[in-house]
Amino acid sequence: MNQTVRAFVGVALPVLVIIVFVALLTFSLLRLLNTERDMRFEATQNMLWVISRAHISSLLLGEAVAGGIAGEVDLAQLELRYNVFLSRFALLDDGPQRRQMEALGAAAALDALRESLPQLNALLKDVKQETLPNLKALLEPYNAALTDAANKAMVAEWEGLGATLDATRKQLWQIIISMIGISLAGAVLCIHFLLAIRDAQQRTRLLNKEKAFSELLIASSGEAIVAVDRDRRCTVWNEAAERLFGLCINPAVGALLNELSGFFAVNRVEQAIGNAFQGQAITLLDQPFFPSHDSEPLYVDLRCFALRDAERIIGAILLISDVTERRAAQREIANHRDHLEQMVRARTQELDAALIRERTTAELYRNFGTMISHQFRTPLALVDSALQRLMRRSDMLTAAEVMERCKEARGAIARLVKLVESTLDAARLDASQIEVRNQICNLGDLVTEICSRLTEDDGLKRIKVMLPDGFTPTACCDPVHAEHILTNLLSNAVKYSQNATPITINFANRETHIECVVTNIGSSAGSFEPEALFDRYYRGRNSEGRPGIGVGLYMARMLARLQGGDVQLQNSDPNLIQLAMLLPRSAADSGFVAAMKHRKETA
């Protein structure tokens, strides 16, 4: 309700008053125009004077004619009077004067005189006493009509003047009343305008207060606040902006934004401001900023909004917060998290490795147990059997038979001892108790010596050493361990090959290492798994019935690796088994062999 009343007082009332004001003013102006028009007098309104002058000219013509008869007036004077008479008659009988005369009822007299003019003209050419009555008879009706017209003209003019005065008086009163109305409307408008001015002043005061408060907020804001117009000229530059950009407000306000800092010339920032001009709200996070007064880069968050005047966008406002510390904290947290993740990953790997080791160990012990139960029990059973037979038949046995039994028992014990030694070797290897003393060693000589010994010990003659032509197979290795490896490889070749099949040893000179390849033809009984061949305590199906604990190839590979080399299965075809010992050619090449070994395992 109050709002409706306020709207009426504020808008409808002044509009209504203005309409009344304009209407009264228009009415007054129209009335004034009427009055002004009524105040104009035309010459025809002066008919009384025109008629009187015509009447006088007529009377003077009569007198001139009388004077002419008496000889007192000459012809020129008479002609002058006659011309004046005709002139006044023509004036009355022409145009507006004629219409006025018609209105005054004197038209007939004028017409009669016009018809009599030839006769009058003839009479005046020859003025005589006898024609004087004729002349008077022509002029008297005209003079009488003019007298009557003069009376009527006087009355009509006075009546007209009175009516005009009445109308003018009436219009003046209307104008006076209108002026009073105009004054009242003007007073109402003045009061309204005074009230509006007072209201506007109050609003201005409130606006100024709000403006001051806004300026205080902008000035005390921790965020840099920058406003720009459509030409990208700075219009607001608060204290935080001064601190951030190192520029005072005086040169900043009014300057182009790009000239204030290179930050505003960055494409993304320019584009964000452009989008703000289109009415979009844009946020750019973690924008790098290189202040001229500080070499350390800062990071800022930029928010752009359109600045509107009603519906029109007049510029943009930019809120810029320094988030360098927050970013540093976030980065530190991220680093810490990465570090923790790495620790967890490493710990997980350690745990996985420990688990694998644990499983391997369990498998190891399981294999060890199986191996012990089988391989150790067999020689013990042989010894026990030999001893029992000796005990039961001690009185019946010859010395040769006793010797044979003892020899069997000792052979079994020797295998047992060998098994125990192998087990201990493996244990020492696990405990890293094996020392390696690398030196330059001729593998050809070493292989030849081992073959000689095997041939002597076991009578084997199927091992063939193929010494290389053109180079000496020297390697950087521990000769004791190299001999151990080669003995192991040759024992395996002998053990897992068919009788009388050849066993060959070849050498190859590689770029970084020397290869010594032992080749044999596999036995037909059973097979083995190549991937498990070098596992400790692994024994393939082809090893059934053959003594051993499954640590030979494991030991060989471990010893080769301790020397910077490796032992590899190059061919697993049962018809052609090739096991190669790789040893570095020099101390510097040991790393290459290890890398090659790693590549091979990965593949």
Question: To 10 degrees, the CA torsion angle through 4, 6, 8, 13?
Answer: 170
Q: Is 82 in the site for other proteins (CB under 8 A)?
A: yes
Cα angle 397-398-401, degrees, rounded to a multiple of 5: 80
Single out the residue of 86, 138, 156, 382 in contact with other proteins (rule: CB under 8 A). 86
Answer yes or no: are the C-beta atoms of 24 and 59 closer than 8 Å: no
| Total site size for other proteins, rule CB under 8 A | 21
| The residue count for the chain | 603
Task: Determine the angle formed by the axes of helices 47-69 and 95-103, rounding to 10 degrees.
Answer: 100
The 281-320 site mask, x for binding other proteins (CB under 8 A), equals ----------------------------------------
Quick one: 82 or 554, whose CB is closer to other proteins? 82
CB atoms near residue 502 (< 10 Å)? 13
- With tokens 């494991």, the residue in question is 554
Q: Is 190 in the site for other proteins (CB under 8 A)?
A: no
What contacts 24+ positions apart, CB below 8 Å, involve 379-386? 379/412, 379/413, 379/415, 379/416, 379/419, 379/547, 380/412, 380/416, 382/408, 382/409, 382/411, 382/412, 383/409, 383/412, 383/413, 383/416, 386/412
Q: How far is the CB of 92 from other proteins (least distance, A)?
A: 10
Quick one: 93 or 148, whose CB is closer to other proteins? 93
Nearest to 73 by CA among 124, 113, 121: 124
Q: Is 55 in the site for other proteins (CB under 8 A)?
A: no
Q: Is 33 in the site for other proteins (CB under 8 A)?
A: no
Quick one: 165 or 334, whose CB is closer to other proteins? 165
Quick one: 156 or 480, whose CB is closer to other proteins? 156
- What residue type is 136 in one-letter code? K
Q: Which two three-digit tokens encode residue 107?
A: 């038209």
Answer yes or no: are the C-beta atoms of 442 and 416 closer than 8 Å: no
- What residue type is 378 in one-letter code? T
Answer yes or no: are the C-beta atoms of 205 and 184 closer than 8 Å: no
Quick one: 115 or 231, whose CB is closer to other proteins? 115
Q: What is the distance between the alpha carbons of residues 253 and 246, in angstroms, rounded to a whole number?
A: 14
Q: Is 77 in the site for other proteins (CB under 8 A)?
A: no
Quick one: 98 or 462, whose CB is closer to other proteins? 98
Q: Which stretch, 76-84, 417-425, 466-474, 585-593, contacts other proteins (CB under 8 A)? A: 76-84
Quick one: 96 or 369, whose CB is closer to other proteins? 96
Which strands sit side by side in the sheet containing 282-289, from one edge to the other? 234-237, 224-229, 312-322, 298-309, 282-289
Q: How far is the CB of 12 from other proteins (least distance, A)?
A: 44
Q: How far is the CB of 147 from other proteins (least distance, A)?
A: 19
Single out the residue of 42, 115, 126, 231 in contact with other proteins (rule: CB under 8 A). 42
Q: How far is the CB of 100 from other proteins (least distance, A)?
A: 11
Residue 198: which residues within 8 A CB-CB, separation 6 or more? Answer: none
Give the Å distances, CA to CA, from 525 to 486, 496, 498, 544, 572.
24, 9, 9, 9, 15
Q: How far is the CB of 43 from other proteins (least distance, A)?
A: 4
Tell the burial category of 1 from Cβ atoms under 10 Å away from its Cβ (0-12, 13-18, 19+): exposed
Quick one: 138 or 413, whose CB is closer to other proteins? 138
Q: Is 530 in the site for other proteins (CB under 8 A)?
A: no
Q: How far is the CB of 42 from other proteins (least distance, A)?
A: 6
Q: Is 142 in the site for other proteins (CB under 8 A)?
A: no
Quick one: 97 or 321, whose CB is closer to other proteins? 97
Single out the residue of 73, 78, 84, 386 in contact with other proteins (rule: CB under 8 A). 84
Q: Is 161 in the site for other proteins (CB under 8 A)?
A: no
3-state DSSP assignment of residue 282: strand
Q: Is 87 in the site for other proteins (CB under 8 A)?
A: yes
Give the Å distances, CA to CA, from 110 to 118, 133, 334, 361.
14, 20, 127, 162
Single out the residue of 11, 43, 532, 588 in contact with other proteins (rule: CB under 8 A). 43
Single out the residue of 16, 19, 83, 246 in contact with other proteins (rule: CB under 8 A). 83
Q: Is 157 in the site for other proteins (CB under 8 A)?
A: no
Q: How far is the CB of 313 from other proteins (least distance, A)?
A: 56
Quick one: 46 or 204, whose CB is closer to other proteins? 46
Q: Is 57 in the site for other proteins (CB under 8 A)?
A: yes
Q: Is 91 in the site for other proteins (CB under 8 A)?
A: yes
Q: Is 349 in the site for other proteins (CB under 8 A)?
A: no
Single out the residue of 58, 65, 73, 88 in contact with other proteins (rule: CB under 8 A). 88
Q: How far is the CB of 34 from other proteins (least distance, A)?
A: 18
Quick one: 95 or 105, whose CB is closer to other proteins? 95
Q: How far is the CB of 35 from other proteins (least distance, A)?
A: 16
65 phi/psi in degrees, rounded to 5: -65, -45
Nearest to 587 by CA among 484, 441, 458, 451: 441
Quick one: 97 or 178, whose CB is closer to other proteins? 97
Q: How far is the CB of 46 from other proteins (least distance, A)?
A: 8
Quick one: 53 or 389, whose CB is closer to other proteins? 53
Q: Is 53 in the site for other proteins (CB under 8 A)?
A: yes
Quick one: 32 or 372, whose CB is closer to other proteins? 32
3-state DSSP assignment of residue 388: helix
Q: Which stretch, 89-97, 501-509, 526-534, 575-583, contacts other proteins (CB under 8 A)? A: 89-97
Q: Is 90 in the site for other proteins (CB under 8 A)?
A: yes
**Cα R_g (the chain), whole angstroms:** 73
Tell the burial category of 209 from Cβ atoms under 10 Å away from its Cβ (0-12, 13-18, 19+): exposed
Answer yes or no: are the C-beta atoms of 382 and 409 closer than 8 Å: yes
Q: Is 80 in the site for other proteins (CB under 8 A)?
A: yes
Answer yes or no: are the C-beta atoms of 538 and 367 closer than 8 Å: yes
The 92-121 site mask, x for binding other proteins (CB under 8 A), equals --xxxx------------------------
Q: Which two three-digit tokens encode residue 71?
A: 């000889």
Q: How far is the CB of 150 from other proteins (least distance, A)?
A: 17
- With tokens 């979009």, the residue in question is 280
Residue 429: which residues within 8 A CB-CB, separation 6 or more? Answer: 555, 558, 559
Q: Which two three-digit tokens encode residue 72?
A: 């007192």
Residues contributing to the site for other proteins (CB under 8 A): 40-44, 46, 53, 57, 80, 82-84, 86-88, 90-91, 94-97
